[in-house]
């Protein structure tokens, strides 16, 4: 039954985002078709989890802040679409174990390395937990750039508005040089910085592409 709810939800999300956001998706071919994968996007809106998961051709799992599991309806819906709780701002061993277990089972996990939304759209530093999971699992990290979700669902509003969505999946990152031994805090920071730098590059490319398209549109 969980498979039914997940694939139904993904189909509905694809239809809604095509209508609301006239989305442009690129780089899906960079997502490995087999084996464990960590998908790590920037985070600017509550819409980001379904937006980043909808184009993925495989089943995905999501970390979601534990507060969402206390909201009526959401607490019944979230487990059905493969979301599981994580406590932010503190080490959450249960969430870590579940994530590593899913990756051991060759699944895909969507994890926002910043840990929380950026209210001004600027990238924040990665939480050390994101790098730790990448190292312990050995799973490739697919960085992702998301543009437009904050304009479609503005902070403090209940209803979305029409806009333009852009999602770009980058090439998988691997960190074999840190696979042996226990990583230090400095190691985790360096890995987090690498992940965020690749997300920043994807965002820059998508912003440039959006500006080119706007210029071409204005010339017509």
Q: pLDDT tens-digit profile of 92-145?
A: 899 999 999 999 999 999 999 999 899 888 999 999 999 999 999 999 999 999
Task: In whole angstroms, give the CA distance from residue 42 to residue 32.
Answer: 20
- pTM value? 0.90
Rg (CA), the chain: 17
Q: How confident is the model at residue 220 (pLDDT cuts 50, 70, 90)?
A: low
**Per-residue model confidence as pLDDT tens digits over 121-136:** 899 999 999 999 999 9
What strands, in cross-sheet order, belong to the sheet with 83-86?
Answer: 24-26, 166-169, 141-147, 37-41, 108-110, 60-65, 83-86
Task: In whole angstroms, give the CA distance from residue 153 to residue 119.
Answer: 12
**138 exposure class (CB count in 10 Å sphere: 0-12, 13-18, 19+):** middle
Domains annotated on the chain, with CATH: 2-219 (3.40.1130.10)
Task: In whole angstroms, give the CA distance from residue 41 to residue 47.
Answer: 12
């Amino acid at each position: 039954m969980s498979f039914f709810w997940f694939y139904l939800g993904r189909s509905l999300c694809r239809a809604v985002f095509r209508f609301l956001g006239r989305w442009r998706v690129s780089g899906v071919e960079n997502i490995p078709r087999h084996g464990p994968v960590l998908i790590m996007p920037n985070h600017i809106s509550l819409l980001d989890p379904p937006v980043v998961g909808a184009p993925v051709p495989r089943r995905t799992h999501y970390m979601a802040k534990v507060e969402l599991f206390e909201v009526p309806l959401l607490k019944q819906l979230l487990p059905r679409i493969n979301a599981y709780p994580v406590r932010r701002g503190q080490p959450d061993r249960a969430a870590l174990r579940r994530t590593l277990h899913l990756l051991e089972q060759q699944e895909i996990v969507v994890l926002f390395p910043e840990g929380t939304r950026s209210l001004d759209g600027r990238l924040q530093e990665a939480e050390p937990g994101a790098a730790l999971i990448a190292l312990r699992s050995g799973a490739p990290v697919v960085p992702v750039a998301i543009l437009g979700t904050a304009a479609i669902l503005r902070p403090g509003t209940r209803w979305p508005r029409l806009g333009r969505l852009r999602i770009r999946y980058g090439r998988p990152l691997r960190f074999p040089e840190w696979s042996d031994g226990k990583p230090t805090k400095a190691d985790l920071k360096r890995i987090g910085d690498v992940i965020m730098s690749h997300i920043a590059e994807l965002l820059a490319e998508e912003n440039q592409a959006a500006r080119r398209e706007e210029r071409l549109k204005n010339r017509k």
